[in-house]
Amino acid sequence: MHYITGTTFTVTRHANIWDSKFKLNTPYSLINVTSNQTGVKYLFASRVDKVEMIFESCRQADSFIASHKREQIPDYDSVYQRNTAL
């Protein structure tokens, strides 16, 4: 899990079905992450509304957030493999 509670992002265009849950050009903050039987539930909030989304994994949620922050997530698998191969 790369992004933690307090992470903020803004959806500037509706590029996929998930984006349509968010109001355009409105800042949202990640306020809660919990796991359930179907995946990982992320709760985002703006000043006026909340959006709940279920992702298959934290990695999938990280990709969603990263795309809106225009960031690249580090390759944690490679780092882990390098550090455990010693």
pLDDT digits 0-9 by tens, 5-59: 999 999 998 888 889 999 999 999 999 999 988 999 999 999 999 999 999 999 9
State which amino acid sits at residue 24.
L
Residue 85 has what pLDDT? 64
Residue 86 has what pLDDT? 58
Phi, psi of 83 (to 5 degrees): -75, -25
Asked if 56 and 41 count as a contact pair (C-beta separation under 8 A), the reply is no
Q: What is the dihedral of CA 11, 26, 17, 73, to 10 degrees?
A: 40
Q: What's the order of all strands across the beta sheet hosting 50-55?
A: 8-10, 27-36, 39-45, 50-55
Rounded CA-CA distance 21/8 in Å is 16
Global pTM reads 0.84
